[in-house]
Structure 1
Amino acid sequence: MRARRAAWLVALLLLAGAVQAQDLPLPERAERTAEVIREADTVHLPQGALEGGAVSRLRLDGTITSRAWRLPDGGQSTLERMAPLRAALEKEGWKEVFSCAADGCGGFGFRFAVPVLPAPAMFVNLFDYRYLLARRGTGEVVEHVMLFVSRAGERGYVQLTHVGPAGTAEAAPAPADPAPQAGAGSLDATLREAGHMVLRGLDFASGEAVLGPGPHADLAALAAFLAEDPETRIALVGHTDNVGALDANIALSQARAEAVRARLIADHGVDGARVEARGVGYLAPVAANDTAEGREINRRVEVVLLK
């Protein structure tokens, strides 16, 4: 059965110097969950594992096309899902720059240095994912592609991000069903499937760590989630844009995570021993900081399921 499913192909549009479509092997029932095309933008893609608390990232400018797919139940490991994709890229002339798997990448710290599309379009298991960065071309005509493979339960998730010269975006057929909007899933379902989620609706003033009065629906939902199982533990991770010095941003992101933790304890009766608070400043962006929109997206507090 597994071999038969792997034999089916679906078109994944990769962009070459003379824009063309290529086939990569995905199951027939793979469902595209998102497509984001950014013309003349910037992205930072990891080119090494987490080392000394930091991830070396390659800055790339151009047209950035990111697509994600949800794969049907199949019982395949992330290695089994990544292997045919890697082989197909190599066949088309792509050369590996860097690849790694979960703990070998740096686990939690590395994942948040990868520009992953938000849930529910893309889910990432912090203990089971694989990353590949490859390049093709020479001189001024160079393109890069990132593959990120993970799974939630028996379902697999694949994200492909391509960076090519500005103006090379190729229109792709629209999915049969509209892709879910970021943040549309419930907190409970997203945490159980992805293991992490951005907390929505937190009202911090610019440069401040004082959490506004709310209401904060996600905090109430998070408290209810924690109440279901007294053994559940979480971490709150603060993130900032890249305006200002790193130390100041780490301090601000830490303070914001602690403010959210304090609100959970004071207003929702959550046991503080079950909630960690950390700040990583601007070290784990999910969007380019070159635009106001990107900076706003990067200013966030995420909840990470620890147990």
Structure 2
Amino acid sequence: MKAVRTLRSSLICTLLCGLPLSGNAAEFVLQLPLGAKATYSQVETTLPALVPTGPFKDGKIPKVEAPKNIQRTVWVMGGESTVSQVQAGILGQLETAGYEPLLFCVAKECGGFDFRFGIDVVDEPMMRVNLRNYRFISAKQTVSENPAYVTFLLSRSPVAVYVQMTEYSPGARSIEGGEPALKPPETLVEPAEVAGQIGPVSLVLEGLEFETGSAELGNDPTGSLSKLADLLKQDPDVKVLLVGHSDMSGSVEANIAISTKRADSVRRALIRDHGIDAGRLSAHGVGFLSPRADNATEAGRQKNRRVEAVFSR
């Protein structure tokens, strides 16, 4: 398999509407599957105006300078959507809009961990990146003398597809001062917010303590389990998938096993200590495949050893 794939003119938009997009990137309107939910939208004033044009190689990611008016938006899609299907729709729309490819790569082809942490990614829980199942696209506008650029990062979590779009526009943005167009989700959400969502709503149970290689649930200084239990007691129709994550110490198999045990230890604590019905809780582990911090430091490894709650009905 080649390190970098090229976009093919024969790609057909299978999931997304093939409506023409404006030649002005500031008016770029991405068509997404029904039920896609925006988790983040922000005019960025501190991001570097650099667009990746190749995979990680020789210690760096090749990049080209782009316009400095930058906006990032993230969507999450539950249900049966796959990364490949959403990707096909995006590629079709880019072709229709007159964008030429700069880079299209898949996970390991991009450079895996090094590429993912060499680009700017919206923080969890708004954006989620699976190191084994992510794709990156960058493209340049060809219908303008002062071209815009756009990049897409797509990834699949255990229950949803995440899409991050970053636009680099030569024109001024309609949102001033970098204020968010959409309010990012709080660390813990209220039951009413969970109830009306289309697709999954997730949160990280911050503060739970796990030692490297251990599934034993330690301290809970922030009371995350109590807060989660209160949410579940207030809305008896909500169910929770507990997803365990690990740092990168050890093999993939060992880390998936330990992260599953960590999620299950949280499940058992919710049943034993908080009276939550077992039928409303399930546990799953993904090991180190979805890191949220650099594993080179102890602080980063501690952040990656975590359990996340994903709500559903």
Instruction: Identify which range, 79-88 or 48-57, moves more after superposition.
Output: 48-57
| Residue 278 of structure 1, CA deviation | 2.4
Counterpart in 1 of 2:226? none
> Are the equivalent residues in 1 in contact too, given 2:75–2:162 (CA < 8 A)?
yes
> Are the equivalent residues in 1 in contact too, given 2:23–2:97 (CA < 8 A)?
no
Counterpart in 2 of 1:159? 164
Counterpart in 2 of 1:17? 24
- The residue correspondences of 1:22-171 to structure 2 (distance < 5 A) are 22-24=29-31, 26-38=32-44, 42-74=48-80, 76-137=81-142, 141-169=146-174
> Are the equivalent residues in 2 in contact too, given 1:19–1:170 (CA < 8 A)?
no
Return the alpha-carbon distance in structure 1 between the equivalents of residues 114 and 26 of structure 2.
35
* Identity among equivalent pairs (%): 23
Counterpart in 2 of 1:269? none
Return the alpha-carbon distance in structure 2 between the equivalents of residues 227 and 40 of structure 1.
39
Match of 2:185 among 177, 180, 185: 180
Structure 1 unpaired stretches of 5+: 1-5, 187-192, 198-216, 237-273, 280-299
Structure-2-length-normalised TM-score: 0.54
Counterpart in 2 of 1:286? none
Q: Tell me the amino acid that sits aligned with residue 215 of structure 2.
A: A
Structure-1-length-normalised TM-score: 0.55
Counterpart in 1 of 2:258? none
> Are the equivalent residues in 2 in contact too, given 1:73–1:154 (CA < 8 A)?
yes
Counterpart in 2 of 1:223? 211
Cα deviation, 1:192-242, whole Å, max 9, x if unaligned, reads x9xxx9xxxxxxxxxxxxxxxxxxx74x6343994349x985249xxxxxx
> Are the equivalent residues in 2 in contact too, given 1:47–1:133 (CA < 8 A)?
yes
Is 1:278 the counterpart of 2:312 in the alignment?
no
> Are the equivalent residues in 2 in contact too, given 1:64–1:162 (CA < 8 A)?
yes
Return the alpha-carbon distance in structure 2 between the equivalents of residues 33 and 277 of structure 1.
25
Return the alpha-carbon distance in structure 2 between the equivalents of residues 51 and 185 of structure 1.
39
Distance 1:38 1:141, change over 3 A: same
Return the alpha-carbon distance in structure 1 between the equivalents of residues 152 and 245 of structure 2.
31
Distance 1:227 1:81, change over 3 A: same
| Residue 57 of structure 1, CA deviation | 2.4
Structure 2 unpaired stretches of 5+: 1-13, 190-199, 218-243, 250-287, 289-293, 306-313
- The residue correspondences of 1:187-226 to structure 2 (distance < 5 A) are 218=207, 221-223=209-211, 226=214
Q: Tell me the amino acid that sits aligned with residue 40 of structure 2.
A: A
| Residue 166 of structure 1, CA deviation | 4.8
| Residue 56 of structure 1, CA deviation | 1.5
Return the alpha-carbon distance in structure 2 between the equivalents of residues 40 and 143 of structure 1.
18
In terms of fraction of residues, the more strand-rich structure is 1
3-state DSSP of counterpart to 1:168: coil
Counterpart in 1 of 2:240? none
Return the alpha-carbon distance in structure 1 between the equivalents of residues 93 and 56 of structure 2.
27
CA RMSD in angstroms comes to 4.2
Return the alpha-carbon distance in structure 2 between the equivalents of residues 38 and 123 of structure 1.
19
Instruction: Identify which range, 100-109 or 14-23, moves more after superposition.
Output: 14-23
> Are the equivalent residues in 1 in contact too, given 2:25–2:167 (CA < 8 A)?
no
> Are the equivalent residues in 2 in contact too, given 1:146–1:160 (CA < 8 A)?
yes
| Residue 153 of structure 1, CA deviation | 1.1
3-state DSSP of counterpart to 2:49: strand
Distance 1:233 1:46, change over 3 A: same
Is 1:234 the counterpart of 2:241 in the alignment?
no
Q: Tell me the amino acid that sits aligned with residue 55 of structure 2.
A: A
Cα deviation, 1:223-277, whole Å, max 9, x if unaligned, reads 3994349x985249xxxxxxxxxxxxxxxxxxxxxxxxxxxxxxxxxxxxx9x96
Return the alpha-carbon distance in structure 2 between the equivalents of residues 21 and 48 of structure 1.
24
> Are the equivalent residues in 1 in contact too, given 2:67–2:148 (CA < 8 A)?
no
Cα deviation, 1:37-72, whole Å, max 9, x if unaligned, reads 025863333211111232222333411010000102
3-state DSSP of counterpart to 1:161: strand
Distance 1:7 1:108, change over 3 A: closer
| Residue 85 of structure 1, CA deviation | 0.9
> Are the equivalent residues in 1 in contact too, given 2:129–2:156 (CA < 8 A)?
yes
Aligned length, in residue pairs: 206
